[in-house]
Amino acid sequence: MFLDWFFLGDDVLWSKLRRCVDIPFLISGVVLTFYVGASAFGLVKNSAEHYSNFILGTCIMTGLLAIRSLADEKISNTVKPFFAGRFAFAVAALVLSAIGMGYVRYNAIALEQVQPFFTETQMIFGWIMTVSILMLTLIHWGLLLTSIITISIIYFFLGYLIENPLFMTPEYDPEFVMNYIGLGTNQGFYYLAQVAADSVYFLIIYAAILLGVGMLDMVLDVGKIAGRRVSGGAAGPAIIGSGIVASIMGQAVSNVVLTGRLTVPMMRKYGYKGSMAGAIEATASTAGQIMPPIMGLAAFIIASFLNKAYIDVALSALIPGLLYLVGVCIAVAVHARRYELPKLVEKVDTERIKRLLPTFIISFGVVLWFLLGYRSPAIAGLWGIGLALLFAMFQGKFRPTRQQLYDAVQEGFYLVAILSLLLIAVG
């Protein structure tokens, strides 16, 4: 009976499984968020235990996300090939990562004291941790990135076997290599976990909360105001809306998904070809990587490598980011003139702008003020989240529902989990 349900599918049972996965995912996200928040205020002292907890929480959340994604395939009847194998792979990744990182967390202080002279048992759990993180990376980030990381690890272990002196490495002890992969609790997987936990975490959740309280519709309305005044104005919501959202999210792909579903149909309606509409949206959304104050993950990594405050990197990118958006505007204006595209005549909801603008301006301004004051990005993000939720309560008929806030929190946990996994794996 189980096999019939598993292979043939039962929407009700798969929906129950999805809900069963959602609950521990949400609990894990809430616990991890409170924990990272406590660390932002200096309540967590030991770094080895702290980042072990963070990586363990990230592994559990991404493992649950993998199972939830497979359940969604069954529910929506869009099952891809090798479903059973992929399901078993996801469950194995979740279990192995919990075991491997659970062991590392439990023995974090001991591992820190004995590194790199690890015992055979410690090496076994180190391999379990390494393989499970690579499995999760394969699920969420694909074969290319996982292959590069795997080859790098193999090269670290076996590079001495290469005869070409240009590529040959010294022969390292396996324990020494494993120390740099992650058992040492301050190298390898831990290296960029510090960036994820201390800098990126709350800024990503802040962006998700802003979108949950209605900021996306508000910035698109602002873009419509500009679009009503220029030829080819249907691109206005895409450029202005995506530019503003980009400066909050720092993610190009998520930006395209969020704004593109609204802006691309609008541009096509006003005469833009589908390819051009998609290109404008993608180009404008790419500003998320380079537009301050909240930039892509690379900016946080640069700050970490250079041992500089993140805001110094962000300020250095301000003029290039603005020039990029100006270049996009010029290119769209030339295209609109060439094809004689009309102005935008869509209705603008000015009441929405008036109601939602304080939520955005005040919370975003405080985040910017903290960053410019060289305060921790985590503290800035926490203040932004609190103020956004507070002022959202005074948005009148545009006040977000509980379901909208719940969805925003879920989206925030999803983004922060997979992006943290990316930083952990790349480290």
Instruction: Based on the fold, state whether residues 359 and 383 are members of the same structural domain.
Output: yes
For 284, other C-beta atoms within 10 Å of its C-beta total 31
Does 257 map to a domain? yes
pTM of this prediction?
Answer: 0.86
Is the bond into 116 cis (omega within 30 degrees of 0)?
Answer: yes
Looking at 190, 206, 241, the residue that finishes a domain is 190
pLDDT for residue 9 is more than 60: no
Examine residue 2 and state whether it is found in any structural domain, yes or no: no
Alpha helices (H) in 295-376, listed in sequence order = 297-306, 310-316, 318-338, 350-372
C-alpha separations of 377 from 53, 279, 294, 306 in Å: 20, 32, 10, 17
- Going by pLDDT thresholds of 50, 70 and 90, the confidence category of residue 88 is very high
Q: What is the pLDDT of residue 326?
A: 87
- pLDDT level of residue 347 (50, 70, 90 thresholds): confident
Q: Which of 156, 173, 190 is the last residue of a domain?
A: 190
| Within a domain: 116 | yes
What integer is the mean pLDDT of 98-106? Answer: 93
pLDDT digits (tens, 9 = 90+) for 300-337: 888 888 888 888 888 888 888 888 888 888 888 888 88
How large a percentage of the chain has pLDDT more than 90? 28
Least confident of 126-130, 198-202, 217-221, 352-356: 217-221
Residue 111 lies in a domain: yes
Q: For residue 288, give both structure tokens.
A: 């998320």
Residue 339 is predicted with a pLDDT of 84
Give the mean pLDDT of the chain.
86
- 222 and 336 part of one domain: yes
Instruction: Report the C-alpha gap between 44 and 345 in whole angstroms.
Output: 55
Say yes or no: 151 and 286 in one domain.
no
Report whether 214 contacts 352 (CB < 8 A): yes
Looking at residue 278, what is its pLDDT? 87
Q: Rounded to whole angstroms, how far apart are CA atoms 425 and 411? A: 21
* Whether residue 172 is found in the same domain as residue 301: no
| Residue 15 within a domain | yes
Residue span of the structural domain in which 342 resides = 195-426
pLDDT at 10: 62
Q: Are 378 and 50 in contact (CB under 8 A)?
A: no
Which of the four pLDDT bands, split at 50, 70 and 90, describes residue 1? very low
CA distance 115 to 184: 6
If asked whether residues 239 and 274 sit together in one domain, one would say yes
Query: How many structural domains are present in the chain?
Result: 2
The pLDDT of residue 195 is 84
**238 & 319 share domain:** yes
Asked if residue 183 and residue 200 are part of one domain, the reply reads no
Q: How confident is the model at residue 170 (pLDDT cuts 50, 70, 90)?
A: confident
User: Which has the minimum average pLDDT: 17-31, 123-137, 338-352?
Assistant: 338-352
Which of 39-48, 60-69, 309-318 has maximum average pLDDT?
A: 60-69
Please tell me the predicted confidence (pLDDT) of residue 384: 92
- Is residue 158 domain-shared with residue 274, that is, in the same domain? no
Lowest mean pLDDT among 146-150, 197-201, 222-226: 222-226
Are 239 and 346 in the same domain? yes
- Rounding to the nearest 10 degrees, give the CA dihedral for residues 244, 357, 218, 353: -140
Is residue 335 located within the same domain as residue 226?
yes
3-class secondary structure, 349 = coil
**Mean pLDDT along residues 106-113:** 87
- Residue 6, pLDDT score: 52
Q: Per-residue pLDDT for 97 more than 60? A: yes
Q: What integer is the mean pLDDT of 50-55? A: 90
Q: Supply the pLDDT for residue 149.
A: 92
- Of residues 46 and 239, the one with the higher pLDDT is 239
Average pLDDT over residues 115-123: 88
232, 196 contact by CB (below 8 A): no
What is the pLDDT averaged over residues 163-179? 86
- Which residue spans within 137-285 are E strands per DSSP? none
- Specify the pLDDT at position 42: 82
Using a pLDDT cut of 70, give the percent of the chain over it: 97
Confidence at 151, pLDDT banded by 50, 70, 90: very high
Position 1 in a domain: no
Q: Are residues 186 and 260 in the same domain?
A: no
- For residue 70, count other CB atoms closer than 10 A to its CB: 24
pLDDT for residue 80:
86
171 & 215 share domain? no
Query: Among the three residues 159, 190, 221, which one is the final residue of a domain in this structure?
Result: 190
Mean pLDDT of 73-78: 84
Specify if 218 maps to a domain: yes
Instruction: Establish if 277 belongs to a structural domain.
Output: yes
Q: Assess whether pLDDT exceeds 90 at residue 183.
A: no
